Amino acid sequence: MPSLFRSRKGIIAVLLVIGLAVIGGIVKAFLPSEENPLETLQVVEVTRSPFYAPQYVALSKGFFKEEGLDIQLSNGFGGDKTMAALLSGDADIVLVGLEAGVYVNARSAASPVTAFGQVSQTDGSFLVSREPIDHFRWSDLRGKSLLGQRKGGMPQMVSEYVQRKNGLTPHKDVKIIQNVDYKNLGSAFASGTGDFAQLFEPTASMLEKEGKGYVVASFGVDSGKLPYATYITRAQFIEEHPDVIHRFLRALYRAQKWTHEHSPEEISDAIAPYFTDTDREVLVRVVERYQTQKSWAPDPIIEKSEYDHLLEVMRQAGELPGTIPYKDIIRTDIAEAVIEEQD
């Protein structure tokens, strides 16, 4: 009887070892290792901005790595270069305004692109005045000069939309200066160019801190919701790698929820590694500004109403090359599946 007991204990011990080995093998299969490395994704962002905070949260918190993705992030320095990187195959995914995708699909059906997620749901630029204005009204722009953005870009189209909405005729009632490169807008305004300027963060807040400019209005607040910063890839890439897109959006959605649940200070700490040249006080102010006006989308889904609004803004600016149906440029099925999983 004792020998039988000992043999049973031995069998149980062996089974336990085998079970642990099997479990360990399963866990190992899902963890990054030399045998199971992370899958590399080349992601190009149109510019580096706190406006894309959820993306940097996903990176700094390790959400992408937990999905087995190694995100190689680079700056495209503008919409045209960013889309060129995507179409040439140098980028797998780009973070750019959806209008860039509309332009591509309107020009050719041979290499269509698809938007499958969004980070920002409003414009991210602000109107900066040379002098403080306590009770600013958009009509205050009449007869003034505005240091604006490039023709055909969403910031400029939004600016013109807001002007028309408030009874102004762009380029007639307001002189719009458009011969300054994006990266030089802040320094040009500080040097005396324009009565007002349309600037993104952190440039606007940096000028405020230096006493060289004052934020008096938000283009994002006054233009409404539209798919402003979206993730776009080649339609073929989604068809060939649906699981990659699924994991990418799973990480993004976790970051979006995290961003909505945490304070400007906590968000600033999370994204600080991507803004080493930005003073923390300024970064917190920027994050608070975007969080307060609900610039960051709560989930990756691009709504049809927002897309229709985007097309209307483009149409009013005279930049709509053709009406691309919602279903021909946007996919929401993967994002919807991700949300159902996590909620």
Amino acid 25: pLDDT: 43
Q: Which residue has the tokens 């959820």?
A: 54
Query: Per residue in 159-196, is it b (16+ CB within 10 Å) or e — as a string?
Result: bbbbbeeeebebeebbbbbeebebeebbebbbeebbbb
Query: Per residue in 66-102, is it b (16+ CB within 10 Å) or e — as a string?
Result: bbbbebebeebbbbbebbebbeeeebbbbbbbbbbbb
Which residues is 232 bridged to in the sheet?
A: 94, 115
- Whether pTM exceeds 0.85: yes
Share of the chain above pLDDT 70, in %: 90
Residue 245 structure tokens? 């897109």
Question: What's the Cα-to-Cα distance from 317 to each of 190, 198, 320, rounded to whole Å?
Answer: 28, 17, 8
- Give per-residue pLDDT as tens, 216-252: 999 999 999 999 999 999 999 999 999 999 999 999 9
DSSP category for residue 165: H
Amino acid 26: pLDDT: 39
Amino acid 28: pLDDT: 42
Amino acid 37: pLDDT: 83
Query: Per residue in 290-310, is it b (16+ CB within 10 Å) or e — as a string?
Result: bbeeebbbebbbbbeebbebb
Looking at the predicted structure, is the pLDDT value of residue 95 above 70?
Answer: yes
Q: Which residue has the tokens 């600033």?
A: 268
Residues 6 or more apart from 291 whose CB is under 8 A from it? Answer: 259, 264, 267
Residue 176 structure tokens? 């719009």
Sheet holding 113-120, edge to edge: 69-75, 39-45, 93-96, 229-234, 113-120
- Segment 96-122 mean pLDDT: 93
Q: What is the mean pLDDT of the chain?
A: 91
- Segment 47-52 mean pLDDT: 96
Q: Is 287 helix (H, G, I), strand (E, B) or coil?
A: helix
Amino acid 343: pLDDT: 81
Looking at the predicted structure, is the pLDDT value of residue 15 above 90?
Answer: no
The number of CA neighbours under 13 Å toward the Cβ of 250 is 19
- Give per-residue pLDDT as tens, 57-79: 999 999 999 999 999 999 999 99
Looking at the predicted structure, is the pLDDT value of residue 18 above 50?
Answer: no
- Give per-residue pLDDT as tens, 270-313: 999 999 999 999 999 999 999 999 999 999 999 999 999 999 99
Domains and CATH numbers, the chain: 39-122+226-342 (3.40.190.10), 125-223 (3.40.190.10)
Confidence band of 35 (pLDDT split at 50, 70, 90): low
Amino acid 110: pLDDT: 79
Helices 280-292, 264-271: axis angle to 10 degrees equals 120
Helix (H) or strand (E) holding 131: none
Looking at the predicted structure, is the pLDDT value of residue 8 above 80?
Answer: no
- Segment 163-178 mean pLDDT: 98
